[in-house]
Amino acid sequence: MTKLRLAIVGAGPAGIYAADILLKAEKQFDVSIDLFEQLPAPYGLVRYGVAPDHPRIKGIINALRDVLDSGKIRLFGNVSFGRDITLDDLKKHYNAVIFSTGSIRDASLDIPGIDLPGSYGAADFVSWYDGHPDFPREWPLDASSVAVIGNGNVALDVARMLAKHADDLLPTEIPENVYAGLKASPVTDVHVFGRRGPAQVKFSPLELRELGELKDVDMVLYDEDFDYDEASKAAIASNKQVFVIDKVLTQWRARETGTASRRLHLHFHAKPLEITGTFDESTNSARVAGIRYERTEPDGEGGTRGTGEIREIPIQAVYRAVGYFGSPLDGIPFDEKRGVIPNREGQVIDDNHEQVHGVYATGWIKRGPVGLIGHTKSDAMETIKHVVNDQANWWAPAHPDEAAVVELLESRGVEFTNLDGWHNLDQHELGLGEAVGRTRIKVVERDEMVRVSNA
């Protein structure tokens, strides 16, 4: 029987679901799957993006682990495509490759002052609090007033993590240095800015509601933002999600405030124009001092328009949470505008819109950084359908045997981890947590992750 030797690059949910779906698909051939992951541990943004105080979502890792533990997938962790293994290598060892490398960078926001010291990307902050090994261990939490720009779930995660008291995060898996950093934070006010109105935001109601449950944090809303136009009223009446969001916000507006030590302000109809700076003599450099924004108003068609009224509030730090962006991969077509691998239903295409045989994409690198973990499943189904049907165009590798790729990595001195290694690390982290009455404490340093995995 023919055998499909498949490489999958990126062990986030998209890559793991693709493997699962292929293994379960009806097909006229055997399958052997190798999963390459640049980090020593699998699960992508479920481990390094989903907020630590979302244990139910983090629990999706259990389902993904079951797939990896099926015994039919080999994991090669700590192996980076483009550095440790190339497209030419894959062509020599596999019939096809699926890229599921996701997006980890912050999309840019082109306003003056956005590069001042004290201005950060949400993705970098998320990587810090989720203990990503490739990000600095220290995070400068020295601001009392902070702005978060964006009206999606990542903006809410960032605002919540900034406003929440560190002790309320102790039951979670946050690394020790993150707890210490957040515990010392002098923050009193977190301001979330969105240019649209409350009926146009992209928050999911569950995420929004959670803000109102933070201990010792007042939710601050502004009456002027709730002067709904007809289009907003229609959205509230016709869309269940918008209806619930409005209900939650209405409840908060009726609450007594003024006793909490921290405040989380939601500014709607506020379009950021500029981050203003000041000269800090202690560091001899400029740094963030304020955010200038323009009031917007409903345009009567479900959108907004500027009013020309400019305001400014003082802040000492700003986080832009305006979306994620994919990174290009060596030898693989890339759409610089959208930050994705150009593709037709997962079949990668080149500049001339011709299919690149043997190369597929799935997950966020396929369709852009939108959607929940569950969406990567339907994505993977579509891609796998083509992998299966494209048999006539698969590569014909010179070294299809499973030992050859191991020899290749060893000959290059790549210190890769495998599935047993992940189990070692998992047990180690659980043990660290148990010793101090917590569920898990993450190991952060890459060397330490590899050492524990390969012990």
Ligand X SMILES: Cc1cc2nc3c(=O)[nH]c(=O)nc-3n(C[C@H](O)[C@H](O)[C@H](O)COP(=O)(O)OP(=O)(O)OC[C@H]3O[C@@H](n4cnc5c(N)ncnc54)[C@H](O)[C@@H]3O)c2cc1C
Chain residues in the site for ligand X (CB under 6 A): 9-15, 36-39, 44-46, 49-50, 54, 57, 80-82, 100-102, 126, 154, 157, 324, 329, 363-364, 371-373, 376
335 forms beta bridges with 340
Minimal distance, residue 360 CB to ligand X, in Å: 13
Nearest-approach distance from CB 45 to ligand X, in angstroms: 3
CB of 191 to ligand X, least distance (A): 19
| Residue 298 or 363 with smaller CB distance to ligand X | 363
Query: What separation, in Å, do the N-terminal and C-terminal C-alpha atoms of the chain show?
Result: 38
- What is the number of the residue whose Cβ is closest to ligand X? 12
CA distance 255 to 269: 22
Q: Which is nearer to ligand X, 51 or 432 (CB)?
A: 51
User: Whole-number minimum distance, CB 311 to ligand X, in Å?
Assistant: 28
Give whichever of 59 and 140 is closer to ligand X, judged by the CB atom.
59
CB of 256 to ligand X, least distance (A): 30
In terms of CB distance, is 287 or 367 closer to ligand X?
A: 367
Write down the least CB distance from residue 102 to ligand X, Å. 2
**CA 280 → CA 28, 117, 119, 145, 286, distances in Å?**
68, 10, 15, 16, 6
Is 100 or 172 the residue whose CB approaches ligand X more closely?
100
Least Å distance, CB 180 to ligand X, is: 21
- Residue number, 152 or 197, with CB nearest to ligand X: 152
Q: How distant, in Å, are the alpha carbons of 347, 350, 392 from that of 357?
A: 8, 10, 10
Please answer whether residues 156 and 208 qualify as being in contact, where contact means their C-beta atoms are separated by less than 8 angstroms: yes
- One-letter amino acid at 279 equals F
Name the residue nearer to ligand X (CB basis): 50 or 248.
50
Residue 364 beta carbon to ligand X: minimum distance, rounded to whole angstroms = 4
Closest distance between ligand X and the C-beta of residue 183, in Å?
22
Q: Which is nearer to ligand X, 232 or 362 (CB)?
A: 362
**Pick 82 or 331: Cβ nearer ligand X:** 82
Give the residue with the Cβ less far from ligand X, 189 or 210: 210
User: 261, 188 in Cβ contact below 8 A?
Assistant: yes
Burial (0-12, 13-18, 19+ Cβ within 10 Å), 380: buried
Residue 441, strand partner residues: none
d(CA 51, CA 55): 8
Least distance (Å) from ligand X to the CB of residue 61?
Answer: 11
